[in-house]
Amino acid sequence: MSSDVFIPSLGNAMPSSVPPPTLETSIKPVNGYQLLVAMLLMPLASALAVASWTLYALLAKQPVYVLVPLMSGVLLAWPAWYIAKLGDTCRLMQWLLLGLALALGGFGMASQPWDFLLVGAGLGLGGAVITTGIAHAKGWMPGRWVCLCIALCVALAAGLGLSLRMAPLVVQAYGWRAAPLSLLIPLFMVMLLLWLFAESPE
Chain segment 150-169, per-residue pLDDT in tens: 777 787 788 888 888 888 88
Residue 189 in 3-state DSSP? Answer: helix
pLDDT value for 10:
47
Q: Angle between the 32-59 and 113-123 helix axes, to the nearest 10 degrees?
A: 160
Give the model's pLDDT for residue 143.
Answer: 67
| 68-80: pLDDT as tens digits | 998 999 999 999 9
Q: How far, in Å, CA of 155 to CA of 177, rounded?
A: 25
Q: What is the DSSP letter of 124?
A: T
DSSP string, 145-168: HHHHHHHHHHHHHHHHHHHHHHHH
Contact 126, 47 (CB under 8 A): no
Stronger pLDDT, 142 or 126, i.e. the higher one: 126
Q: Percent of the chain at pLDDT above 70?
A: 79
Mean pLDDT of the chain: 79
The 10 Å CB-count burial string (b at 16+, else e) for 169-191 is ebbeeeeeeebbbbbbeebeebb
- Please give the single-letter amino acid code of residue 126: G
